[in-house]
Homo-oligomer: A and B are copies of this chain.
């Protein structure tokens, strides 16, 4: 039987949930496949209404969901209430996008002469791809788990979803799933459109099932790589949309250090300790100038020294955090300050920690992601040292620059250095806190993600869609959005983009 652990006390209890057997996994995928065969022909309005219903379903069970999640994650009720609201907002934003219809990329080329001869009529749009496997992450038990963005974007596209419950919050997963499933059935969705499996082996069985058409995953590089290896053994390859590891470099210019040392120390400390440092966008490496930047380092160190321990999500993360901190120290990181874990702490606590290094001595070993409240501060004398050190930093979800208005050329130059390494460039702010919106992009080169797609924001839907073109089709067989008399979505007609009427 699966167990669950209270990270504040390390006490383990039984969940009543058995690991899903291979035969049961196959039955869940059977049901998802059958449901998809209905859902793939559903209207955009039906899909949007389903997403709204799922948001409502989460709200209806808010109190219990937050209570259970707090017990399993130690993230606190304030944060978890906010995260549940974020999950709901996400479902509703995708509903808006489905109703708006731009995501279909509808295009019509009428038949006619072209410079290379007569061309047939073509009508193209995006359609869903099938049952999607979604692996929840430990650090966002709502927004990146059962009720998270992968689920919302896959369903928005018209797909079925089979969830792999995270072992770190099985009861939250179970309760979230029950709320969603209840709401989906009440909204008229086909039975089996949402499924869930439990246990490590069930996840392996899921990605190996030939009917699964894509995998959404947020988690560790090791676990992600293991799934990729399984996918590579499939007869029919499928896309793996993994968000795995990110150190999120941040650069403070001399001007910014001079102008705003105290504010930056405050903001940066808040960012790298937010959620006990367990954000995929946590700034893990900060480049701080010598001299003007001393006050920033002092400010970070004072805050760390005064901080008490923070509860990590589970024993694996806690153990790993200590090991990686030791490796970073061994690789040349000097401890500037660390917080204090109470003597009587019984749970998975970590001390907020600031390590300092010389930017000129930066090595790839110093760019290892420490999942938890730790930041490596690299001190530099010249921007050239920063640029050289960035070559040792793996691709990341984000990169951040703090600069002043009179440093225009320096900020532009840093942008050119950072843009190849990251999917989002943040200015005079902090990368934690990923806005869910139309223009968001949450992705980066491997190992941040391995795709050219986002896992946050409206365009996340594109991961779970494929184009289809209809050539010289009788109007009766065309999807509504591709018929001549329909003007309800943006369409590109004979190469010219047209807005809805």
Contact = CB atoms under 8 A, between A and B. Distances in A.
Interface of A: 40-41, 82, 85-86, 89, 92, 96, 100, 102, 105, 107-109, 114-117, 119-120, 122-124, 127, 129, 228, 232, 236-237, 239, 403, 405, 408, 411-412, 415-416, 419-420, 422-429, 433, 435-441, 443, 445-446, 450-454, 459, 465-474, 476-477, 490, 492, 494-495, 497, 499
B423 A122 contact: no
B472 A423 contact: no
Contact of A426 (B435, B466, B471, B476): B471
Contacts of A412: 476-477
A330 to B, nearest CB: 23
Given A412-B476, A452-B465, A427 B471 contact: yes
Contact of A428 (B122, B437, B472): B472
13 contacts: A86-B116, A92-B115, A114-B435, A114-B436, A124-B441, A405-B474, A424-B470, A425-B469, A427-B471, A437-B495, A441-B469, A452-B465, A459-B467
Contact of A237 (B411, B446, B490, B495): B446
Contacts of A127: 419
Given A82-B116, A96-B495, A477-B415, A440 B469 contact: yes
A216 to B, nearest CB: 14
With most chain B CB atoms within 10 A of its CB, the pick from A89, A492, A497 is A497
Contacts of A107: 438-439
B467 A416 contact: no
B239 A452 contact: yes
A452 B129 contact: yes
A411 B494 CA distance: 26
Nearest to A127: B419
Contact of A497 (B123, B469, B490): B490
Contacts of A405: 474
Contacts of A85: 115-116
B408 A474 contact: yes
A429 B122 CA distance: 12
A424 B471 contact: yes
B471 A429 contact: yes
Contacts of A451: 239
- Top 9 closest pairs, chain A to chain B, by CB: A107-B439, A441-B469, A124-B439, A122-B439, A441-B467, A452-B466, A109-B439, A424-B469, A119-B435
Contacts of A426: 120, 471-472
Contacts of A89: 114-116
- Say how many copies of this protein the assembly contains: 2
A437 B467 contact: no
Contacts of A239: 451-452
A422 B467 CA distance: 10
Contacts of A129: 452
B124 A440 contact: yes
B474 A427 contact: yes
With most chain B CB atoms within 10 A of its CB, the pick from A239, A424, A452, A499 is A452
A411 B109 CA distance: 22
With most chain B CB atoms within 10 A of its CB, the pick from A412, A419, A473, A477 is A477
Contacts of A424: 468-471
A41 B424 CA distance: 17
Nearest to A100: B495
Given A467-B452, A468-B419, A438 B499 contact: no
Contact of A492 (B124, B438, B470): B438
Contacts of A452: 129, 239, 465-467
Contacts of A472: 426-429
Contact of A445 (B86, B236, B446, B497): B236
A473 B416 contact: no
Contacts of A422: 468
B427 A470 contact: yes
A466 B443 contact: yes
Contacts of A468: 419, 422-425, 441
Contacts of A427: 470-474, 477
B473 A425 contact: yes
Nearest to A90: B116
Nearest to A101: B497
A114 B438 CA distance: 12
Contact of A454 (B115, B454, B467): B467
B114 A469 contact: no
Contact of A114 (B82, B423, B437, B466): B437
A438 B237 contact: no
A469 B127 CA distance: 26
